[in-house]
Amino acid sequence: MSKRKYGLALSLVLAAGTLLGACGTDKDKDKNTSSSTGGNESDFSIAMVTDVGGIDDKSFNQSAWEGIKKFGEDNGLAEGDGGYAYLQSKDDSDYTPNLNALTRRDFNLIFGVGFLMEDAIGTIASQQPDTHYAIIDGVVEQDNVASILFKEQEGAFLAGVAAALMTKEDKIGFIGGMEIPVIERFEAGFVAGVAAVKPDIKVDVKYTGSFDKAELGKAAAGRMYSSGIDIIFHAAGGTGNGVFAEAKERKEADKNANVWVIGVDSDQYDEGQVGDENITLTSMLKRVDVAVQDISKLAQEGKFPGGETKVYGLHDDGVALADSRGAIPQDVLDQIEEYKKKIADGEIEVPETTK
């Protein structure tokens, strides 16, 4: 698919040269990228800008990158310019220059990972109408931007059901990153799932205010476990790594310690390994990788859903629970499946907010 006609591209470069020129040098252009160049001659290429959690957050950004890589590999693209790539954001000041850098490198479709990138994508997209952009977990109403949302509340509801059926102490915790709509959907669904099974349980909720500070997650989890909570569901990106660290330390100190973590976004089973045991009860999968591949395929076929908002939920495997590897017995899994069917059939409408 041709990205832009040469004459139009030339006029845009002349008109916007000063703006884009201020966004970085050639050295900046390659900074934090997965690859500086690629030899693929394909006429379709994709890239992404990470949120502050980083490409190896074992969660949200990592899932997006896995989707980018899978699409690239399935379509014979090389990693780098002309194929697929990413730029990593250390903080929110990197969003705009990273998006600009990938635009200058002529990627056909550029993903911005995370709600916090809405403003940056809105600005860049208005300046570059011939480039396609996609925002994950946000909405930008422009013709060259596809907005991608998930029904996190549906998957989180199932996680809440699992927690309520598996807790021995009837004390359950939720640790979120920043208090923004997408994380509030996780909280609302989880609280509703717990209440559907055991309405007397009050979920202890704590927001750390960050997605990339494992120490804050560890401290919050420490206080919860010390208070008698035995299962914590985190929706905190890299901050959630601290929740796992705290649970693992307690399990290492006392093999009989009853501590569990429910992971988020990706299957975080490996994060919970403690010797020959594992403290990951399950993970709420948010299939960012599926959404990335879907939007990329549509764009490649000339069907890019610009100006539209696509929402992924249980009905299209946009959210799910990971295999518990035996941590959850079959009779409990059967009950979770019953709730899943009721949600998919519309018998249960999961709230998006606790307010």
Instruction: Look at residue 195 in the predicted model and tell me its pLDDT.
Output: 98
The verdict on 160 and 57 lying in the same domain is no
Residue 17 pLDDT grade (very low, low, confident, very high; cuts 50, 70, 90): very low
**Parent domain of 273:** 152-286+325-344
Residue 320 covered by a domain: no
Residue 202 covered by a domain: yes
The verdict on 199 and 340 lying in the same domain is yes
The pLDDT of residue 296 is above 70: yes
The verdict on 269 and 280 lying in the same domain is yes
The verdict on 217 and 68 lying in the same domain is no
The verdict on 263 and 296 lying in the same domain is no
Find the radius of gyration of the CA atoms of the chain: 21
What mean pLDDT is reported for the chain? 89
DSSP annotation string for 223-245: HHHHTT--EEEEE-GGGGHHHHH
The C-alpha atoms of residue 230 and residue 322 are separated, in whole angstroms, by 19
The CATH number of the domain holding residue 254 is: 3.40.50.2300
The pLDDT of residue 101 is above 70: yes
Residue 196 covered by a domain: yes
Phi, psi of 313 (to 5 degrees): -140, -160
Instruction: Look at residue 35 in the predicted model and tell me its pLDDT.
Output: 37
The verdict on 225 and 270 lying in the same domain is yes
Count of domains in the chain?
Answer: 2
The verdict on 158 and 139 lying in the same domain is no
Using the structure block, give the residue that is written with the tokens 């500070």. 213
The verdict on 295 and 305 lying in the same domain is yes
The verdict on 130 and 162 lying in the same domain is no
Least reliable range by pLDDT among 19-23, 100-104, 337-341, 349-353: 19-23
Residue 59 pLDDT grade (very low, low, confident, very high; cuts 50, 70, 90): confident
Residue 354 covered by a domain: no
The pLDDT of residue 65 is above 50: yes
Instruction: Look at residue 187 in the predicted model and tell me its pLDDT.
Output: 98
The pLDDT of residue 8 is above 70: no
The verdict on 293 and 183 lying in the same domain is no
Check residue 143 and report its DSSP letter: T
The pLDDT of residue 318 is above 80: yes
The verdict on 88 and 45 lying in the same domain is yes
Instruction: Look at residue 5 in the predicted model and tell me its pLDDT.
Output: 40
Please write the tens of the pLDDT for every residue from 217-228.
999 999 999 999
Instruction: Look at residue 355 in the predicted model and tell me its pLDDT.
Output: 83
The C-alpha atoms of residue 299 and residue 132 are separated, in whole angstroms, by 8
Residue 349 covered by a domain: no
Give the residue with greater pLDDT, 41 vs 250.
Answer: 250
The pLDDT of residue 13 is above 60: no
Take residue 62 and report the two structure tokens written for it: 């990592």
The verdict on 84 and 230 lying in the same domain is no
Instruction: Look at residue 42 in the predicted model and tell me its pLDDT.
Output: 54
